[in-house]
């Protein structure tokens, strides 16, 4: 299973044109011949479906990380710089 999980992670990174090092909070689940992978990068959140046999990405949903979440990750001195 670990090999397939690594293949799913590679397929997802390749699909959106990022390196695997940029992926954070990776969650891979398997059901009915498909993998679902969710992860985020510095600016975006992704949810993808990958077919188990071919490792083909069949669907991608992505959205920006909410601004409030981005602000929380900044040092306090920068948050009040408005």
| pLDDT, tens only, 24-81 | 999 999 999 999 999 999 889 999 999 999 999 999 999 998 877 656 666 665 555 5
Half-sphere exposure of 37 (CA within 13 A, CB side): 30
Q: Which class would CATH give 2-79?
A: alpha beta
Output the pLDDT for position 67.
Answer: 73
Confidence of residue 5 (pLDDT cuts 50, 70, 90): very high
31 - beta bridge partners? Answer: 34
Cα–Cα distance for residue pair 49/62, rounded to 1 Å: 12
């Amino acid at each position: 299973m670990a090999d397939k999980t690594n293949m799913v992670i590679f397929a997802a990174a390749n699909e959106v044109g990022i390196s695997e090092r940029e992926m954070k909070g990776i969650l891979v689940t398997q059901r009915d011949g498909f993998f679902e992978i969710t992860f985020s990068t510095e600016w975006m959140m992704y949810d993808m479906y990958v077919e188990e046999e071919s490792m083909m990405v069949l669907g991608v949903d992505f959205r920006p990380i909410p601004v409030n979440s981005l602000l929380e990750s900044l040092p306090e001195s920068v948050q009040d710089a408005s």
